[in-house]
Amino acid sequence: MSTGRATVRTTVADAIVRFLIAQKVEDDRSGAIIPLVPGVFAIFGHGNALSLGESLELHKDEIATLRGQNEQGMALAAVAYAKAAQRRQIMAVSTSVGPGALNTVTAAGVALANRLPLLLLLGDTFTSREPDPVLQQLEHFGDPTITANDSLKAVSRYWDRITAPSQLKTTLRQAIATLLDPADCGPVTLALPQDVQAMAYDFPADLFDTVVHRIARPRPSRDQVAEAIALIRAAEKPMIVAGGGVHYALAEAELSAFANTFGIPVMETVAGKSSLLGSDPAFAGSIGVFGETAGQEISHEADLVIALGTRLQDFTTESGTVFRNPNVKVIGVNVARYDALKRQGTAVVGDARETLAELTLGLEGWAAPAEWFATGRSARAKQVALIEQRTAVTETSDPTYAQLIGRVHAIAGDDDYVLTAAGGLPGELVMNWPSKGIATFDCEYGFSCMGYEVSGTWGAALERAASRPGSTVYGMTGDGSFMMLPMDVYSAVLHSTSLVLIICDNQGYNVIERLQIGHGAASFRTMLADEDRPNPAVIDFVKIAEGMGAEVISAGTLAEFDAALHAVKGIPGVHVIVAPVAKHKWSEGDSFWEVGVPEVSHRPAVNEARKALLEGKSQQR
């Protein structure tokens, strides 16, 4: 019996594309209504080229399709796009069956660890099983329902395999809800069997009605706010740890006002960097393993820690040793209850911006002791002096990381964006990059994914071109990370994306060699040249990048590097600058990080490192 409800007969693949096009979001940075899913990164092959590919081609004027060169790379680009958009927009990723789908696992891990949205539309084997084993199918003898896509379950917030068209009516809405949920935000995987993608079905017409989403801002419980206010009022040395949640709540201005009004120093995590300007009076530096020695007095002496939108991972807490006041208390302000409870925190489960507003009302008339806020200012002044020393232009055989960063910082505008990930650059950038603009920094250190740098720079540049036209995205990568995933240099060229990629060449995985040597071990298979291979083959990064269509400049000195930066500033296109960097000159701090030093070793230096490790662990709370 007919219900009289309007329907649209189309394929499963086309229904997904039409649904995504219909999803809009109110950008509360500008008030504009913008596409929630502006595009799809796709590599077409067996399992997605026909049904999904046909629909994307049909709707190419409504949703962009961008071709990557490697599924992991384009999924990392989607993650970086979401980070640059402060979780306001989501890029989808479409792959073929088998290897293509498996290639997205690492990128999904990056998104999960960093609480970022990523929509994976993965080809899958036939539900009918008539052509089994189909090309690229994995066979599990005891469970024929398992496919390559089941590997994504460990790195997805929401996972579903579509085995009937009717399932889309519920799962698509659940998928979008997960991607937009402030607390549960993370990767969504939809496994799409080839035969199901092609199936036709009478979908309800209203499934494709335009929907304007507004990002939820959960308010905290009044009782939790009251408890937090009481703890803050009782504190003599309170501090704020600003995490990535400050960015996703768009709470940067509120954080500055709150901290300066009540005289509370703020230290930033890696994900929270650029929550405050480097010049903000409340800014006391970066916390944790990448923090300055001059800022440790704040985190060591604090009697109250307001953990604002941070998951308090080991680099933030120096493996649980950074808060050393025996009476210290922690208030965990987070939309995710799981994160709010960390480090024995008093949980305040709510949006960072809404929670700051509630706390501001309850703290009227109170302020921390002025001398405590002055301690934060003094610590920051010492840090700034050290930054100036490290980044100063001097005659050296090879520039240091800090000096290269200093030259980029000098030319970067307030709206320009800098990005990096694994290796030595995260610590160097966190320590030596005073933020000129709010939300202008991306260091992927939640998962420390080598290879993120090139793909992420492409993704971030795509987003900034739409939201901040005229700004420059600077991607900084080591030579090791570049060699892991260089091919999105070509993706950026292919799609006429403008960016500046800086390859810092120190002839290997120098930061891991530093980890080895710094804990008494020998340098072993981390650098291109070692005692077994004193004269390794030279990698020509200039030719690699030129071969992918980029404009490339080799800069062997600081003067040449500076000239290269000025030459490409504001010039459209993909620009790559290759620069040597000193192997053993680092920006040193004095922090603790627990690593797996052997309990016994034939090397005395390793045994000494084990003793130092145990001494450090004695500070863990």
* Residue at token pair 């937009």: 180
Low-confidence spans in the chain with pLDDT less than 50: 1
CA distance 458 to 473: 9
Assess whether 419 and 288 both reside in one domain: no
**Quick one: 346 and 264 in the same domain?**
yes
Residue 3: the pLDDT is 64
Q: At what angle do helices 71-84 and 452-467 cross, to 10 degrees?
A: 40
Rounded to the nearest integer, the mean pLDDT of the chain is 95
pLDDT at 251: 98
The pLDDT of residue 585 is 87
In a domain, 170, yes or no: yes
Q: What is the DSSP string of 202-235?
A: EEEGGGGS-EEE----PPPPHHHHHHHHHHHHH-
Is 611 contained in some domain? no
Are residue 504 and residue 551 in the same domain, yes or no?
yes
Same domain, 397 and 329: no
Residue 592 inside a domain? The answer is no
Contact, 558 vs 577, CB < 8 A? no
Q: Are 41 and 106 in a shared domain? A: yes
The pLDDT, as a whole number, for residue 331 is: 98
- Please tell me the predicted confidence (pLDDT) of residue 60: 98
User: Could you say which DSSP state residue 132 is in?
Assistant: P
Choose the final residue of a domain: 174, 193, 213: 213
In terms of domains, do 452 and 525 share one? yes
- Could you tell me the maximum CA-CA distance found in the chain, to the nearest angstrom? 85
User: What range does the domain containing 325 cover?
Assistant: 222-377
The answer on 413 and 336 residing in a single domain is: no
**Do 38 and 130 reside in the same domain of the chain?**
yes
Same domain, 369 and 396: no
Q: Are strands 283-286 and 304-308 parallel, antiparallel or unpaired?
A: unpaired
- Sheet strand arrangement including 329-334: 283-286, 266-268, 238-242, 304-308, 329-334, 346-349
Predicted pLDDT of residue 2? 55
- Asked if residue 139 lies in contact with residue 151, where contact means CB atoms within 8 angstroms, the answer is no
pTM above 0.75, yes or no: yes
Q: Are residues 525 and 506 in the same domain?
A: yes
Dist. CA 613–CA 144, nearest whole Å: 48
Count how many domains the chain has. Answer: 3
Report the CATH number at residue 77.
3.40.50.970
- b/e 478-497 (16+ beta carbons within 10 angstroms → b): bbbbbbbbbbbbbbbbbbeb
Specify the DSSP class assigned to residue 354.
H
Residue 74 covered by a domain: yes
210, exposed or middle or buried, with CB in 10 Å at 0-12, 13-18, 19+? exposed
**DSSP string covering 535-567:** SPPPP-HHHHHHHTT-EEEE--SHHHHHHHHHH
Angle of CA points 251, 253, 256, to nearest 5° = 105
109 lies in some domain: yes
Q: Report yes or no on 608 lying in a domain.
A: no
Q: Are residues 457 and 548 in the same domain?
A: yes
How do residues 541-581 score in pLDDT, each as one tens digit?
999 999 999 999 999 999 999 999 999 999 999 999 999 99
Query: Would residue 620 count as lying in a domain?
Result: no
CATH code for the domain of 284? 3.40.50.1220
At 365, list the tokens.
């008339």
Looking at residue 1, its pLDDT comes to 46
Give the whole-angstrom CA distance, residue 193 versus residue 369.
Answer: 63
For residue 9, the model assigns a pLDDT of: 98
Nearest to 159 by CA among 90, 85, 108: 108
Answer with the one of 327, 351, 377 that is the final residue of a domain.
377
Contacts of 129 (CB under 8 A, 6+ apart): 144
Q: Are 229 and 262 in contact (CB under 8 A)?
A: no
**Cis peptide bond prior to 218, omega within 30° of 0:** no
213, 242, 273 — which closes off a domain? 213
Instruction: Look up tokens 């700034």; give the residue.
Output: 384
CA 85 to CA 99: how far, in whole Å?
A: 29
What radius of gyration, in Å, describes the C-alpha atoms of the chain? 25
Specify if 601 maps to a domain. no
Distances (CA, A) of 136 to 47, 100, 109, 193, 284: 10, 10, 23, 13, 53
Answer yes or no: do 207 and 241 share one domain. Answer: no
Query: Which residue is listed with tokens 């701090």?
Result: 589
